[in-house]
Structure 1
Amino acid sequence: MIPGPTNVPDRVMLAMVKPIINHRSPAFSQLYKGIIEKCKKVFLTNGDIIVYTASGSGGVEAAVTNIVRPGDKVLVTVFGEFGQRAAEQVEAAGGKAIVADAQLGDAPRMDKIRALAEANKDIKAVFVVYNETSTGVTFRWLRDLGKLASDLGAFYIVDAISILGGDELPVDELGVDICIAGSQKCLAAPPGVVIVSVSDRVKRYLESNPPPPRHYFNMPRYFKFAERGETPFTPALPLFYALDEALNIVLEEGLDNRIKRHKICAEAFYRALAAINLKPTAKEDVRSNVVLAFNYPPGIEDGKFRKLLDDKFDVLVAGGFGEFRGKVFRIGCMGEVNTPHVLTTVTAVSAALNQLGYQNSTAAALEEALKVLSQLNPST
């Protein structure tokens, strides 16, 4: 129950045992073109799709290095570890990061972002982390931010690595120019693949303003090879098979149903742990439905708690990042998460805390969880 890599369905795992094929063959072309079309349905876009053999951070680097040139200003939301990394990527590419920050546990509000935009009319791109995995915070004003980017004439880049497929993100409707998603989060595939959607506007820009030609993430090179259903470099074939099957599962469930399931499971977690007086790290209006962070009660040591969960209950949760290290634990509510995952995790968290001296009622926690989970379809 960590925030990725998440649990992977057996169907997806079994897909990886298919024979290795020539990545310059018609068979691979068929596979790759199928993945691209399925990704478009999940991203809700008619734009281009690039599938990189890389981690999610590789997708962020691809977005930044293809768009940012020395001296360019990029407005970046920073409210956790991954927003900070994005700002550092901008600076490393020679750009200037205009940072809209917020205290940990919150997200920057639109009035602050608009004020920064007003003071920096020549912003080239706006970069937002939709879901900050390090703090359990989701930026809830994507539509407003997209309008601001449009008003500025800026490219709109959304890091949706940990949330695409688990919460609403209609890429084209929101005017997103580049959207980045990880395979190992809400899509419930193994790690090692990052999917990037690219708008026609970005594609036209790159035609007349090509990025440095000698790097792995060069988007125009991927566009060229995609015309014949190939990637420029050798892809991780087993991971492509796995992604293809994971996308099949997403589309079989239906994107709206999948998002609803994530929301219900998240609410069940929040209600259950509130019943034993655990406090979420994030403010209520920005709480994530896919990564849930909770403050430890006084006297509970992070290492002992998570080790007990693992050793005695076979449940893994994540610790905190940076300033939150040792102060919070994080639950991944993503991918295949459903009633058994929620109930097992709630039971384990409550029981482990009891064993460590924080007295609470497991029955009360489960009662609250079950009230919410009753909204799920019986087959879920």
Structure 2
Amino acid sequence: MTVQDVITILNDYAPLHYAEDFDNTGLLVGDATSKVSGVLVTLDTLEAVVDEAIENNCNLIVSFHPIIFSGLKNLTGKTYVERTVQKAIKNDISIFAIHTALDNSWNGVNAKICDVLGLQNRKILVPKSQTIQKLTTYVPSSNTELVRNALFETGAGTIGNYSHCSFTTEGQGSFKGEDGSTPKVGKIGELHFETESQLSVTFPKHLQANILRTLFNSHPYEEVAYEITTLENSHQQLGMGMIGEITEAVSEKEFLSTVKSKFKTGCVKHSALTNKTIKKVAVLGGSGSFAIKAAKAQGADAFVSADFKYHDFFQAENQILLCDVGHYESEQYTKDLLVAILTKKITNFAVVLSQTNTNPISYF
């Protein structure tokens, strides 16, 4: 397998199209055509992780966080980022980062946190917008079913928990083939009228190239008229964070004790106790203060995330228990998730779980 083959597996699971605009996902170092001897999976790519890859004969590092986040103006080895990149290049090791693409995935970072806490009846905490598109095209009525079914097979017609969604209206189209054209119906130089269907289907935006390829291959016309628009609907299975329910309500102190144990953290910073039981829980791996309002709006009793600042805790307002478990701690199980994704698809070389603890924070 090549580096690109591994990237394709991960991109199919968590499309990079849905990474946040501020992020830097994808292949950061290396050649996509290189053959892979082994994959090392890590949360962060540091010099020690590159050393670990060398020791394990892994020439591809799959990292959750990107080692290159903002632009590098030089590679002189002055910073840990530059030294890491230099060492990877010297040893022909590629580095791929998935970050917020996996954050936004239905079966990604936050689903793994839900697994750890045993949350049921899950839904996305902050659904992602600008991810659903609509294709509208015009097809001879006799070919409408064929084109529609071909688009469905490619993944069109999905929205939320529904599939095979389309809308069709009948009308009359007109055209005149000019010199150089080869019309399927009608004659060159003659105005032709054809009974046509206006066919519309929705689809997730990462499928756009495949959807258009299918449209062109299944449509009978030489020139295919179509338009693509982006819908205002939020994607209910894409977005940041999740909210679900634990099996039985517990006291706040019991919940905090469970969280501390499950996330193996030195401490859990939390807002004032509300003297309420905990049943509905929101989670968000990494920095999650931006989702406090969403967690409150959806009636969460507790919100487990990280990187809350001093004033963020005031937002609890005795309505919710805010739990900061630490950035690394909230995302630590992501490595296991990535290993599971890859080992299901790869059998001809090793997928290694990094044993390097990349947490930059220590507890005294």
TM-score, normalized by the shorter chain, greater than 0.5? no
TM class by shorter chain equals under 0.3
Higher relative contact order (CA 8 A, sep 6+): 1
Whose strand proportion is higher, 1 or 2? 2
User: Structure 2 length normalisation: TM-score?
Assistant: 0.26
User: Structure 1 length normalisation: TM-score?
Assistant: 0.25
